[in-house]
Chains A and B, each alone.
Chain A
Amino acid sequence: MMLRLSRGGKLMVAVLMFGLVLGLAGAGAAAAAAPELRLVPNEVEIGSFFEGARVELQGTIPPGAAAVVEVLGSTATEELLRKGRRGGLWMSVGEIKVHNVPSLYLLQSSSPEIPALTGQETPWGFAALQRAVQLSGMVAAGEQAKFFNEFLELKKHERIYRVLPESLKVSAGPEGASAVRGMIPLPAKVSPGKYQVRLSAVQDGRLLQQQESRLEVRMVGFPAMLADLAYQQGALYGILAVVIAIVTGFLMGFLFKGKTEH
């Protein structure tokens, strides 16, 4: 059955068709121009049984390049205690503030060693982190490097700052590009917030391209409810905690009383 259209109708169809063709062409061009960096999932939920999570990373880089991935948490200032000797005994002797500290720092690469850039400062790794971080408080000018290393040791010990070489796989990808795949290991200690994931392609000490993506970690369900109550209704939360403790204490007393009397 033929559909008969008026002149105005024909014009509208023509405009729509043209728009559709343009749109498709634009989308295709965008896909070819911007290399992909996908995170699956890009939202991680912390529920009652959260034990850390593994986020799958998929990206593309130019053929022959090595891949470097950085996962960065939001920055803040941390107050730490400095240990020292007093009267021959080790104890806290003062505070050191570490400014501009990311809550998480993971560095992954496809190569056995983390690639470095030649002729310019490498923008990733602990050396780059050291340039961004400032120490203040009970720390002399000559001690900055020493205490930055102490700070790193503390974070590495907790596994929230990690370097993982050879944890990314590079294989031949579509249209002459290389496909990058890997797993981002988020520890159980990961705090809720927004995380930046940056994929860099490096070849012969040169940075070829960089792509960024966002990862969000959220507390959900019972932990979220409890954390909200603790931070927003402190008094109510405290009383609830005490009541639960007293009731359990008595309950256990009654249970044991029953057992001993029989």
Chain B
Amino acid sequence: MWNLYLPIAGNSINILLLFGLGGVVGFLSGLFGVGGGFLMTPLLLMVGIPSTVAAASDSNQIVAASTSGTYAHWRMGNVDFKMGFLLLVGGVIGGTFGVQIIKGLRALGNADFVIKMTYVLMLGIVGFYMFMESLQALRKGKVMEPKKVEPGKPSIYVRMIQALPWQMRFEKSGVTFSVLLPLILGVMVGILAAIMGVGGGFIMVPVMVYMLRMPMHVVVGTSLFQILFTCINVTVMQSITNHNVDLVLAVILLVGSTLGAQVGAKMSRRLHADQLKILLASIVLIVMVQILVSLILSPAQLLAYKGGH
């Protein structure tokens, strides 16, 4: 009872389990502005979904969660469409480069090493930096918005970005800088996301907070807006080339995740920016440790199916 057959995954899975998984990951998505692919895909593998189907169907599910989340954040005035669009354009260009890099690495035979190391390093650096920064801010008990730059002593980074041409005002985020900056950062995140095989939300969020100096609440909404388009692209491409989007699986997950995303978006409004950051940092660090452990411990089986992250 409560089991449904998933025609593309070729397996029968409990509906309530999938609904619950969708709810939890959707909640985190609405709360932190991440797609949650780095959590969902391994969870789906654990319940018996083939890795390629898990990754493709997850991107379909993220389309719904990020639509729901973007809509909720847009109503609260938290989406910087101009910034989101520039990051998206950069992300698409970077993603195309990243795919080529991975192809080259596969030909050389050490793609997996690069993917795994990029994963651990990115998660480690991002998680640790965000954790320490928010912890300090929470300890001091001050309301810290990273966009405020000390007026007297601009850092090298600030001087560099001020020197770039085509300065533009981003009203929603309350920042002014060159259109090139979000484009370049978008390209960098796009390359990393393509190498790691993820949407890149958990890299994009810290980039927006620390490098684009946007307020945390606008970051979450804008990140979701950008993830929405990335995942629409992935879903259609996967359906055409690999035929591994399981619509039944995606629909059950997305009913859960859209509900979760709404709750998460509301919760994000109630929490302080530093509390949000420290929570996200903790999840990122836990995932990093889990990957690191799987790299160090001898695996139970020496053969595995292809695909997935």
Contacts and interface: CB of A to CB of B under 8 A. Distances in A.
Interface stretch (B37-45, B80-88, B107-115, B128-136): B107-115
Nearest to B57: A241
B72 A253 contact: yes
A241 B249 CA distance: 11
A50 B12 contact: yes
B156 interface: no
A250 interface: yes
B182 to A, nearest CB: 25
Given A49-B4, A237-B239, A241-B250, A188 B12 contact: yes
B160 interface: no
A256 B116 contact: no
B298 interface: yes
Interface string A230-242: 1100110111111
A253 B71 contact: yes
A235 B239 contact: yes
B303 A91 contact: no
Contacts of A22: none
A153 B301 contact: yes
A218 interface: no
A65 to B, nearest CB: 37
Contacts of A80: 303-306
Interface in A142-159: 147, 150-151, 153-154, 157-158
Number of chain B interface residues as a range: 35 or more
Interface string B259-285: 101100010000000000000000000
Given A150-B301, A188-B5, A245-B64, A238 B240 contact: yes
A237 B63 contact: no
B174 interface: no
A234 B60 contact: no
A84 B109 CA distance: 13
Nearest to A79: B306
B39 to A, nearest CB: 18
Nearest to B305: A80
28 contacts: A47-B5, A51-B5, A80-B305, A81-B304, A81-B306, A82-B303, A83-B302, A86-B113, A90-B297, A154-B304, A154-B305, A188-B5, A223-B7, A226-B248, A227-B7, A234-B239, A235-B236, A238-B238, A242-B63, A242-B232, A244-B250, A244-B251, A245-B235, A249-B261, A252-B258, A252-B262, A256-B266, A257-B75
Interface of A: 46-52, 79-84, 86-96, 147, 150-151, 153-154, 157-158, 188-189, 191, 219, 222-224, 226-227, 230-231, 234-235, 237-242, 244-246, 248-253, 256-257, 260
